[in-house]
């Protein structure tokens, strides 16, 4: 075999490897987008439950305007988030607002016994579980993709072709702080 034939075989193998790596990068990026979509679906599902929950609690605790406003504002933040970082921050704010809302509900025994409220709480818990699963799935896809983009031989192909790392869905630092629930507000009768 001549050196020209060997060179041609090496060139074909390198081109085939580059094409396979490019396809892996595209599949990885699409996998990350698909996983992000799953998070968005679950965040939207939870956000859709919030108005019903707020209206149910309002019927019992109409003077808790600040709590309702914070829940509404946090819900809007979740819906406006477009990146993993924005969504994580908005999700943490909504979780804090919901903790406050449930703290208000603790002061109203009739509300806690209301079947609609109980059903909404169960649906929110289910949404939280699904968000946690979707977040873990997303982060696993990001890890796989980022590993491909950041290691050899991927790093040699990814950069020049415009593939960059993706952000993980991390909770902001304040989300790791303990939530303090206070029942100091007097219940209205």
Helices 84-106 + 115-150 axis angle, to 10:
160
Q: Residue 183 domain-assigned? A: no
Q: Return the pLDDT at 63.
A: 67
In the predicted model, is pLDDT for residue 181 greater than 80?
no
> Shortest CA distance to 140 belongs to which of 23, 34, 19?
34
> Range of 99's domain?
18-175
Q: Residue 185 domain-assigned? A: no
| Total domains, the chain | 1
Place of tokens 């406006």: 80
CATH number of the domain that residue 150 is part of: 1.20.1440.20
Dist CA 100 CA 121 (whole Å): 14
Mean of per-residue pLDDT scores for the chain: 83
Contact 120, 114 (CB under 8 A): no
**pLDDT tens digits, one per residue of 132-145:** 899 999 999 999 99
Q: Residue 1 domain-assigned? A: no
Q: Residue 180 domain-assigned? A: no
**pLDDT tens digits, one per residue of 16-50:** 998 999 999 999 999 999 999 999 898 888 888 88
Q: Return the pLDDT at 27.
A: 95
Q: Residue 9 domain-assigned? A: no
Dist CA 115 CA 51 (whole Å): 16
- Cα 154 to chain centroid distance, Å, stands at 27
In the predicted model, is pLDDT for residue 147 greater than 80?
yes
Q: Residue 42 domain-assigned? A: yes
Q: Residue 186 domain-assigned? A: no
Q: Residue 107 domain-assigned? A: yes
In the predicted model, is pLDDT for residue 186 greater than 50?
no
Contact 153, 20 (CB under 8 A): no
In the predicted model, is pLDDT for residue 84 greater than 90?
no
């Amino acid at each position: 075999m001549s050196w020209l034939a060997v060179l041609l075989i090496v060139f074909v193998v390198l081109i085939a490897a580059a094409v396979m790596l490019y396809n892996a990068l595209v599949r990885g990026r699409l996998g990350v987008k698909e996983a992000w979509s799953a998070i968005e679906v679950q965040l939207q599902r939870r956000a859709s439950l919030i108005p019903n929950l707020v209206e149910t609690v309002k019927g019992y605790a109409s003077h808790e305007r600040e709590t309702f406003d914070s829940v509404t504002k946090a819900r809007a933040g979740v819906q406006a988030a477009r990146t993993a970082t924005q969504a994580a921050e908005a999700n943490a704010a909504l979780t804090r607002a919901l903790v406050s809302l449930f703290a208000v509900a603790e002061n109203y025994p009739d509300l806690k016994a209301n079947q609609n409220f109980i059903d909404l709480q169960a649906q929110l818990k289910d949404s939280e579980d699904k968000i946690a699963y979707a977040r873990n799935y997303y982060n696993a896809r990001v890890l796989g993709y980022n590993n491909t983009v950041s290691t050899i031989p991927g790093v040699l192909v990814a950069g020049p072709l415009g593939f960059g790392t993706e952000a993980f869905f991390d909770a902001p630092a304040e989300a790791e702080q303990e939530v303090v629930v206070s029942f100091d507000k007097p219940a209205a009768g």
